[in-house]
Amino acid sequence: MDNTVIINPPIRSVFITPNTPGSKIPSHGTAKYGEMYAIDFVVINKDTLSRKPYKSSFLRYLFKGLDLSDFYGWGEKVYAPVEGEVVKVTDGIEERNPVNVFKDVGNTIKVTKKFESGTLNSNELTGNCVIIKYGEKKYCLLAHLKKDSIQVKEGQKIDCNDIIGSLGHSGNSTMPHLHMQFMDSLDSNTANGIPFAMNSFLVYEKGIWIRRTKAVPKKEDIIRTDE
């Protein structure tokens, strides 16, 4: 039986999806921890449509690092992709600033080692996050949110498109982005991923925007959502 969940996009902007089940499954290289069909949203400049997600030069990003505010997506509103009940909220976790590729990759290596040794706190992976229960054994995780931005509480009933918080750089994140996944358990050690498709979005192809319905973005896509 197909258990694909049809969702609304959690971002209202122009973005790319560098890790997506639309191009590769498992999308993040593992079927564990409910990540089989996980997707990452990275916001880009809506005017130039350049895939570069920050305003400064690559060399500055590489060697000096960039302030969080230099990224187009940092602070972008995140919306509930499904309706349901908020069953977990984690907030107050600091974001690394400035954002530097070497430091953030180093953090990923450290987190990986702690995970392999069994000493990892799940918050070090997800950072500030919200989990929505949208059915029996059906959960949606929205991770790496901006510190102190979450606008919902545990036990709260929410509708699709309600504001959840803001896109951030907390947890195991290499730059400001939103990580979203659907899974069948709150226990990441046993959770299996659940596939999804977005109800409607636009893809930029050969100078025009083409609508796709009940589809999953691909790695090479530049995507826009309806405001």
Q: For position 108, which CATH number holds? A: 2.70.70.10
| Averaged pLDDT, groups of 10, the chain, 227 residues long | 89 97 95 93 96 94 93 98 98 94 78 66 84 97 98 98 97 95 92 97 96 97 90
How many structural domains are present in the chain?
Answer: 1
Q: Supply the range of the domain harboring residue 170.
A: 5-224
pLDDT score, position 227: 65
Answer for the pair 87, 130: CB distance below 8 angstroms, yes or no.
no
Q: Between β-strands 138-145 and 157-158, what pairing exists: parallel, antiparallel or unpaired?
A: unpaired
Contacts for 33 with CB less than 8 Å, ≥ 6 apart = 125, 188, 189, 191
Answer for the pair 185, 139: CB distance below 8 angstroms, yes or no.
yes
Q: How far apart are CA 119 and CA 113, in angstroms?
A: 9
pLDDT score, position 115: 66
pLDDT score, position 119: 63
- ∠ at Cα 103 (100, 105), nearest 5°? 100
pLDDT score, position 1: 47
* Two structure tokens written together for 101: 């590729």
- ∠ at Cα 18 (12, 23), nearest 5°? 105
Answer for the pair 130, 86: CB distance below 8 angstroms, yes or no.
yes
